[in-house]
Amino acid sequence: MERDVKGALADLPDIEGKRVGIVVAEFYPALAEWLLDGARRAVSACGIAERGVTIARVAGCFELPVAAMRMFGRDELDAVIALGVIVRGETPHFEYIASECARGLMNLQLSTGAPVGFGVLTVDTIAQAEERADPARRDKGFEAAAAALRVLSISSDPESRPLGFRR
C-alpha cells in the first residue's frame, strides 16, 4: 500500500509553540524506532520545535498509559503520542495487554481533555508490524501523531468556528 505523503502533509495543522510528549514501548526495539521516527516527522511537520518534544521510553505497551499520565503531570504537555507493538502469541496475553493499553490511553485522554495519539500496533505477526511501522510503507507512527495533532488544533474557544452539522 502506497502512502500519499503530499496529502498527509497538506492536512497537518500549524501548531507551533505547542508541547508534545512521545512515549514509546521498546519491547521490539527496531519497530519502536520506526514508529518514533514517524511521530517525530509529523510533529516537526506541524511546526513544533524539537525543544517542544519530550520523549520517554518504557519496556512494553502495558506501561504506556501510566507513562503518558506521568508525562502530562510532569511536563505541561498539550498532547501525548503513545507508540508500541503487541504481537499475538499462543496465549490470551495479547488480548489482555492490547485491551488494557487501549482502555488506559482512552481513559487518560478523556480525563485530561488532551489528545493521546494511539500508535499501538496490534498484529498477528512481526511481518505485519514491520509493514505498518516502516516509514517507507504504512508509517503508523506518523499517522498516530498526525491524528493527535489534528485534535490538538481544534480550538476549545467557544467563539471559534463550530464543529458538526447542527450549528
* 162 is an active site residue: no
Q: Is 63 helix (H, G, I), strand (E, B) or coil?
A: helix
**pLDDT for res 6:** 47
CA distances from 112 to 74, 75, 76 (A): 13, 14, 11
**Residue from 163, 167, 131, 150 nearest 9 by CA:** 150
| Positions in the chain whose pLDDT score sits under 70 | 1-10, 156-167
Domain ranges within the chain, ordered by starting residue:
20-27+34-151
50 φ, ψ to 5°?
Answer: -55, -35
Can you give the pTM of this predicted structure? Answer: 0.89
- Chain centroid offset of residue 140 CA: 9
Which of 17, 74, 93, 110 is catalytic? The answer is 93
Grid cell digits, residue 138: 504504512
CATH, domain 20-27+34-151, list 3.40.50.960, 2.40.240.20, 3.20.20.100, 1.20.58.1610: 3.40.50.960
Residue 14: CB atoms within 10 A of its CB come to 10
Q: Is 85 helix (H, G, I), strand (E, B) or coil?
A: strand
**pLDDT for res 163:** 53
Which tens digits make up the pLDDT trace of 5-24?
A: 545 555 899 999 999 999 99
